Amino acid sequence: MTDPLRTGATIGILGGGQLGRMLSVAASRLGFRTCIFEPGADCPAAHVADRHIAAPYEDEGALRIFAQACDVITYEFENIPTSALDILETLRPVYPGRQALRVSQDRLVEKAFLNDLGLKTAPFAAVDDGVDITEAMAEIGLPAILKTRRFGYDGKGQVRLKGPNDAEAALADMGGAPAIYEGFVDFTHEVSVIAARNAAGDVAAFDPGQNVHKDGILRTTTVPARLSPAQRSDAVLLAAQILNKLDYVGVMGVELFVTAEGLIVNEIAPRVHNSGHWTQNGCTVDQFEQHIRAVAGWPLGDGKRHSNVVMENLIGDDMDRVPDLARDGACALHLYGKAEVKPGRKMGHVNRVTGPA
């Protein structure tokens, strides 16, 4: 375990989107500088970072310059090329560590890991070809979802299967990539736990939030979530179990289905998470600062919630609502400074404070 980073140190962030942007702002609150590694020339995180290295993730020279400019390295997305990590890890500490990435980069490995921990997931099977999908359908049943094992996000790389006739098209949609067949889970709603662990092994979790998705993209997160006290405690404990098993350092998002038979883990994300954005206006220390604290070797904030919040993503044309939202005294706007509005593009979010906790 290394010493806590001193004020003035530089935190490297792989990825320059809105998560990197808000991580950079949180780092500044603790007196840190940030250096963003992101191929895109103009990216949301670069606007609020001390330095931006714009190079492909395959550029070994740029990766070395980046590592040497930083005291510690973290990331805003889990699909970092392994080759980049191979270089960076030899030069600087990278948090969260390799094991968390290995598990979360592959849906099949992730589900197996969770089951090994004794945690429930949807029934699943590996699918590489037509034989596999037929077997999976027979064993697990329908409806189901076929997903690429790797590189999926916001509903991309996913196809629903309603009947046997959907198999061929779904498989074609995977484009030859290894896939996972996931059985139907009869859940009433979805919640997520944003939890953090630091190098000292301390764990702190924020209150679970209740998520609503549309077209595979998160629309709203509401705290408090509709959960019994027992469910609430189960949710936090299982998140802690995952973090501890991975010897995790940083913030993780754990998505859970609430079912009559208990909580089922949907997926884990080894990073700050869209469903944790409410913490910016609900807690004294938000998920972004919590992550920075963890990777900087600092004590964690306690995660206590002072306010009830409904977080809503502003996607594409939702930006037209900004003038009205700005007039609403209960609303805190968080816009990402993206130049171009595109359908389905996350442009910002709004935290509506609905009352004291």
| Residues lying near a second copy in the complex (CB under 8 A) | 4, 7-8, 21, 24-25, 28-34, 46-50, 281, 284-285, 293, 298-299, 301-302, 304, 306-307, 319, 322-323, 326-327, 329-339, 347-348, 351, 353, 356
CA dihedral 114, 115, 121, 125 (to 10 degrees): 110
For the record, the structure tokens of 331 come out as: 């609303």
Which residues are within 8 A (CB) of 62 and not within 5 positions of it... i.e. 6 or more apart? Answer: 37, 53, 55, 56
Q: Which is nearer to a second copy, 150 or 334 (CB)?
A: 334
In the annotated binding site for ATP, the residues are 107, 147, 152-158, 182-185, 190, 213, 266-267
Pairing of strands 124-127, 179-183: antiparallel
**Closest distance to a second copy from the beta carbon of 42 (Å):** 10
Given a contact cutoff of 8 angstroms between Cβ atoms, the answer to whether 313 and 219 are in contact is: yes
Cα gap 16→43, rounded to integer Å: 6
Residue found by looking up tokens 């977080």 in the block: 311
For the record, the structure tokens of 180 come out as: 């996972």
In the annotated binding site, the residues are 107, 147, 152-158, 182-185, 190, 213, 266-267
Given a contact cutoff of 8 angstroms between Cβ atoms, the answer to whether 324 and 312 are in contact is: no
**Closest distance to a second copy from the beta carbon of 28 (Å):** 5
**Closest distance to a second copy from the beta carbon of 312 (Å):** 15
How many other C-beta atoms lie within 10 A of the C-beta of residue 6? 10
Q: Which is nearer to a second copy, 137 or 283 (CB)?
A: 283
Q: Which is nearer to a second copy, 118 or 356 (CB)?
A: 356
**Closest distance to a second copy from the beta carbon of 45 (Å):** 10
Q: Which is nearer to a second copy, 273 or 349 (CB)?
A: 349
**Closest distance to a second copy from the beta carbon of 295 (Å):** 14
Nearest to 286 by CA among 297, 275, 5: 275
